[in-house]
Structure 1
Amino acid sequence: MTTLLAVDTAGRKVLVVGGGPAAAHRAAALALEGAHVLVVAPRICEALVDLHIDGHVEWRRDVVTPDDLDDVWLVHTATGDLATDARVAAWAESRRVWCLTAGAPGVTPGAVGAAASARVPTADEVNVALAGSGALPPGRRVARPDPVTRRDHPGRVVLVGGGPGDVDLLTVRGRRALALADVVVTDRLGPVAVLDELGPGVEVVDVGKAPGRHPVPQNEINRILVDRARRGQTVVRLKGGDPFVLGRGGEEVVACREAGVSVEVVPGVSSAVAAPAAAGIPLTHRGTVAAVHIVNGHDELSDAACLAVRDRSATVVVLMGVATLAATVHRALVRGASPTTPVAIVERGCTPTQRVTRAELATVVAVARRREVTSPAVVVIGDVAAPGLLEVDLEQLLDGSTLPVTAERMA
């Protein structure tokens, strides 16, 4: 039997064990509530690095030990390893400290090897509690996906494009796939907050890459997908953006098909399109440009991309191009691009911390360095990146010179 409670963590020490996207999301939420958050993990994803650098969380770069639970009010495990989570939960149980476990199966609190002594309530429990307190009007319900009933089925893999980061930009089909998942294999990018909506018993495996750090190589990711599907599990590979836009989704599809594993692809909103749109930059605009060229920033700017910038025949969008920005700019200039070509860099597009940096091609590297631009970011090169492209001249609008032609004006 459980009791639905709200826990006040403000000013209290909370331990988060794990360094992946699930841990980052939990740590951020706890820090926002005013908790003193200690993260213990040998490695942490970029989102946690940012939280640590900004002073929102403390990070101990090591394997968790029982001493880490000293003076802790609440423990949250999110390692993705069931044995580690269970061991930490047992330590918390012995100290009478409440413990939550993200993405691991729960068992009866107090049992040997218990995975957690606390859990996130289901939608039904929240609705009952709110209705009983009078906080929820009659006929209204809190919408939160409940775990679905599992059926015996052959294992399969679903590659879900999670979009640029905001949960609201995850497709309905993507959410449905997550509601049926037994295992979610996730990156550091994309809608990490959706992991909170997973039902009890759903395992979360973090395989996220960060610039210069690929702890789980692609062949190992492929092996995980195939292995879990062969166990009869539904495996959702949650990727940022779209799986087939510089997301290596094609490689994962091939690996599954070679192993005889059923695989489905759920398209996502690519950051190549979404980040510029969120910044008010149309990749195509009538009278300005009618084509788009998307490139991988890890590679040298192609001849076709250089030609597009030089002739202003297409907007060039560079993904994963912050670290190589100087080389990209140099190659474009050497190949004849105008130094005054507009450039915009959209950092953390479609998130509350989105930031846009604009400059001309000749000065953008210095401006980006001065503003300390960091990944993830999308670089847009071309006339559509010019400031004021979509602005309206209010004086002309007021005197009617730019009013649209309507039947009334034509008369």
Structure 2
Amino acid sequence: MADFDFLPVFQPGWVWLAGAGPGDPSLLTLGVHSALQQADVVVHDALVGGDVLRFVRPGALLDYAGKRGGRPSCRQDDITAKLISLARAGKRVLRLKGGDPFMFGRGGEEALALSRAGIPFRVLPGVTAGIGGLAYGGVPATHRGINAAVTFLTGHGADGAPPDDLDWGAIARGAPVLVIYMGVHHMAGIAERLIAGGRSPAEPVAVITDASLPSQRVVEATLATAAATIATEAVRAPAMIVIGEVVRLRAELDWVGRFVTQAEQPLAQRA
């Protein structure tokens, strides 16, 4: 058995901001797994699944603090205040988010609040869905000969609409591949802005839902048809949208669809 005593010790009164990855528990980092084993309280988001939470040590408190667009959600101010209060009470507080805490996860906001309150904290990065989710969907974020740049953006602004403070023309021209978080409900407006900015209506698009989970699903379309396809196929969030020629590589790189058989499934899921 490997010796993991090089991993940091979770001290009372600290908050660790951690990313749980896109869903598959095998994508947890050693640091996050260790944190789950040491924490007194795990304040977790809606996208953190039960398979990940199985690693929480017995006796630790699970505190749900999910935020989902269009649904009743915890207020960010209340979540931050809870983290500070628990830390001041001497608890080892793990703030567990899906993906990576600093990639559209408000981890930076929470870290700033902790810093200003004098609470010591550590950041444990996670595998963001914009990288890991694409890989599970058979779409590389970069590929030699196709793209040497990629742009990550959110399709969901603070007001719930596509963000208007972005230079959509510059985004359309700026990178051959675009990876969009939280854009399913606004695909029509996003496509309209990108096409107006110069993207081809025929450019391939893939929408990956439940990335890395057994329920994963990938739907392909073009930029012009993506919104209609999302509606017709009843695609739901959480989902990642990737736009660019790399999507065409799925025909050969869809390793989940082509090669993952019953034999490769986790032991608990085998018949």
Structure-2-length-normalised TM-score: 0.83
* Structure-2 residue corresponding to 1:190: 48
CA distance in 2, matches of 1:218, 1:268: 21
CA distance in 1 between counterparts of 2:171 and 2:69 reads: 27
* Selected match of 2:245 from 355, 359, 383: 383
Aligned residues: 241
SS of structure 2 residue aligned to 1:254 = helix
Given that 2:172 and 2:197 are in contact with CA atoms closer than 8 Å, whether structure 1 keeps it comes out as no
Change (3 A) 1:256 1:238: same
Residue 187 of structure 2 corresponds to residue 325 of structure 1: yes
Match of 2:184, SS state, is coil
Q: What's the offset of the Cα at 1:364? A: 1.2
Q: 1:369 is matched with which residue: 216, 231, 253?
A: 231
TM-score by length of 1: 0.56
Question: Which residue number corresponds to residue 152 of structure 2?
Answer: 294
Residue number in structure 1 paired with 2:217: 355
User: 1:233 is matched with which residue: 67, 81, 91?
Assistant: 91
Q: Is the 8 A contact 1:170 1:268 kept in 2?
A: yes
Q: Does 1:345 align with 2:170?
A: no
**Matches for 1:257-268 after TM superposition, within 5 Å:** 257-268=115-126
Q: Deviations over 1:322-372 (max 9, x none)?
A: 111111011111222211111110011000011111111111111111100
AA in 2 matched with 1:272: G
What is the DSSP-based 3-state SS (H/G/I as helix, E as strand, rest coil) of the residue aligned with 2:54?
helix
Deviation at 1:199, TM superposition (A): 2.5
How far off is 1:314 after superposition? 2.9
8 A contact 1:185–1:236 mirrored in 2: yes
* Higher relative contact order, chain-length normalized (CA < 8 Å, sep 6+): 2
Is residue 2:116 matched to residue 1:254? no
Q: Which of 7, 14, 28 is the equivalent residue of 1:156?
A: 14
Contact kept in structure 2, 1:358 and 1:387, CA below 8 Å: no
Q: Closer, same or farther in 2 for the Cα pair 1:326/1:181, shift >3 Å?
A: same
Conserved? CA contact 1:184–1:203, under 8 Å? yes
Kindly indicate whether the alpha-carbon contact (under 8 Å) linking 2:207 and 2:239 is maintained by their aligned counterparts in 1: yes
Question: In the TM superposition, what are the counterparts of 1:30-49 in structure 2 within 5 Å?
Answer: none
Matched residues, percent identical? Answer: 41
Contact 1:283 1:315 in 2 (8 A): yes
Determine the structure 2 residue equivalent to 1:102.
none
**Structure 1 unpaired stretches of 5+:** 1-140, 142-149, 392-411
SS at match of 2:153: strand
Q: Which residue of 1 aligns with 2:258?
A: none
Q: Which stretches of structure 1, 4 residues or more, deviate above 3 A after TM superposition? A: 299-311, 387-391
Instruction: State how far apart, in whole Å, the 1-side matches of 2:145 and 2:134 are.
Output: 18
User: Aligned in 2, Cα 1:277/1:214: closer, same or farther, shift over 3 Å?
Assistant: same
CA shift in 2, pair 1:226/1:163, >3 Å: same
**How many angstroms does 1:200 deviate by?**
2.7
* Cα distance in 1 for residues equivalent to 2:236 and 2:77: 28
Change beyond 3 A, Cα 1:263–1:214 = farther
* Kept in 2: contact 1:166–1:190 (CA 8 A): no
AA of the residue aligned to 1:237: R
Deviations 1:258-301 (A, max 9, x none): 11111000000000111111011011111111111000111336
Residue in structure 2 matched with residue 275 of structure 1 by the alignment: 133
Contact 1:315 1:380 in 2 (8 A): yes
The 8 Å contact of residues 182 and 235 in structure 1, kept in 2 or not, is answered as yes
1:236 alignment partner, SS class = strand
